[in-house]
Structure 1
């Protein structure tokens, strides 16, 4: 039986959204710390579940304090919990993310912001052969949970690639991520962590494929120095 996300999580964030200031937060900080401790235990439990099907090195739950230095929104506190799960070793690329917010909870996985070299390598892979990635994306179980790619694309073909290429829909992508949204009721259900874990388990073939791409050259030679 999984630990359930405490119902107080969303009720607290709803109150914080209406009172997003330091005085109110400091008055309610003990309440927040209790909730944070319970939620962090849920993230840790999810990490242990994920370790049954992937090599997860660590979990990081992000702080509630917002960096307002370069933001027009000067509210000092986030009204959500967010946490990421890092895959271990240089051979395992990609990651997982869990976001808990009233009316806006979701999970995400994949490659948020590939650097210039990784992005070029991924595009060259799809230019050379897009059969394997399309097979992964077309898997019914995977598609039923994750749908298709989301994220940014370029408007036309990237420099050096033909806009007539059959895989141009993949080549134009700048991000290679998947997301799945949840209602508040789903998040607070007793089996939520199991549902999330099963969704993450389904994405393993995609992450492993992309890891192979990003750790080899186009001839399949490993780029990792043992």
Structure 2
């Protein structure tokens, strides 16, 4: 839908939830959650899924992450997430996705893999020190020059058995790899054509996405 964006009320809700992150407050404001957060999120998820399928020519599985936090292993016992996160995963894959993150403070768009499976991590490291790894390093350098952010490495040191002086050695410190575009505030999500903005931003990240997808399909 041309020109669609979230109503600013979703930001008001997220800020209020951030200030009142309790079960009692959420229960009292369940109608606001449904009208300002859940229903527009469902609508956006569906139109963005179709937009991506039209733009990139493949089917996607879209998922809205739960607002209820998993508290089992967390020291932070606040019960609700104060953001809206959505993933768009190509059919046939599980880990590689496009990401949409609307927080009370700003909008973040990204793509990549948060964590490789053990066998695939080993394959990734071997690929990094090959010519295909050089291609990835060039793609990441271009993205960074154009204002994109690379996720933080997981390891402080290069894994054993690899040359720490290799030009791509810094990539060996990653156990997953993501790229992000951080927007200064939430305005891009609550004005203009949000679906067009997302599609264009993802298109700029497409060389990285294509490299990762090729890696998954060949490993």
Q: Shorter-chain TM-score: which interval?
A: 0.7 to 0.9
SS for the counterpart of 2:14 is helix
- For residue 71 of structure 2, what is the aligned residue in structure 1? 68
Matches within 5 A, 1:23-102: 23-35=24-36, 36-54=38-56, 55-90=58-93, 94-102=96-104
TM-score by length of 1: 0.85
- For residue 128 of structure 1, what is the aligned residue in structure 2? 130
TM-score by length of 2: 0.88
Which segments of structure 1 move beyond 6 Å, counting only runs of 4 or more?
Answer: none
Larger mean Cα displacement after TM superposition, 202-211 or 118-127: 202-211
CA distance in 2, matches of 1:160, 1:176: 21
Q: Is residue 121–residue 214 contact of structure 1 (8 Å, CA) maintained in 2? A: no
Matches within 5 A, 1:10-29: 10-29=11-30
Aligned-pair distance for 1:101?
Answer: 1.2
Q: 1:153 to 1:31 in 2, by over 3 A?
A: closer
- For residue 146 of structure 2, what is the aligned residue in structure 1? 144
CA distance in 1, matches of 2:78, 2:140: 39
- For residue 6 of structure 2, what is the aligned residue in structure 1? 5
- For residue 198 of structure 1, what is the aligned residue in structure 2? 200
Ranges in structure 2 where 5+ consecutive residues have no aligned partner: none
SS for the counterpart of 1:107 is strand
SS for the counterpart of 2:86 is strand
Aligned residue pairs, count: 214
CA distance in 2, matches of 1:23, 1:120: 47
Deviations 1:156-197 (A, max 9, x none): 221221112222122222221111112122221222221111
Aligned-pair distance for 1:139?
Answer: 3.8
Q: Which is helix-richer, 1 or 2?
A: 2
Aligned-pair distance for 1:100?
Answer: 1.0
Aligned-pair distance for 1:38?
Answer: 1.4
Aligned-pair distance for 1:122?
Answer: 1.3
Aligned-pair distance for 1:145?
Answer: 4.8
Aligned-pair distance for 1:154?
Answer: 2.1
Aligned-pair distance for 1:136?
Answer: 2.3
CA distance in 1, matches of 2:173, 2:63: 31
Q: Is residue 128–residue 168 contact of structure 2 (8 Å, CA) maintained in 1? A: yes
Q: Is residue 87–residue 93 contact of structure 1 (8 Å, CA) maintained in 2? A: no
SS for the counterpart of 2:89 is strand
Ranges in structure 1 where 5+ consecutive residues have no aligned partner: 218-226
